[in-house]
Amino acid sequence: MKNNCLFCAITAGEIPSFKVYEDDVVLAYLDINPFSEGHTLVVPKAHSAGLLDTDDATLAAVVARVRKVAAHLKDVLGCDGFNIMQNNGEAAGQTVMHLHFHIIPRYAGKAFSFAGEKGDMDKLKALAERIAF
């Protein structure tokens, strides 16, 4: 595993993921412990631990992809809104020290919690196939 980093291994294809979007800058895939249907991570392929040690050009490119993926998820899933979450450091809840953004679709009238539960792998696979672009 490159740099002992889980997300580097996922972006390198060493660990499987439920891919939603990929280009030369990022890989976007479903979170396996989703907070809501369609909870997607957008991860830059270049390693950096967090927001403060990511160069401006990479950060701008990643944020542009976050917006692109969020718009796609909103269109395909029909969610009523979404949260964008980005944690920095263990005290802020970051569990993988590789810059990443969470896109969390929100649905009016549905209960919500930031405590994700282990997703059903078959359902996640089917969802990824439905929303991939």
Task: Write out the catalytic residue numbers.
Answer: 100
Residue 70 in tokens: 């969020």
Beta-bridge mates of residue 37: none
Distance of CA 68 to the CA centre of its chain: 12
- The tokens for 30 are 């479903």
Residue with tokens 């569990």: 95
Euclidean distance between CA atoms 97 and 28, whole angstroms:
17
Three-state DSSP state, 84: strand
Question: 59 vs 44, 53, 63, CA distance in Å?
Answer: 9, 10, 6
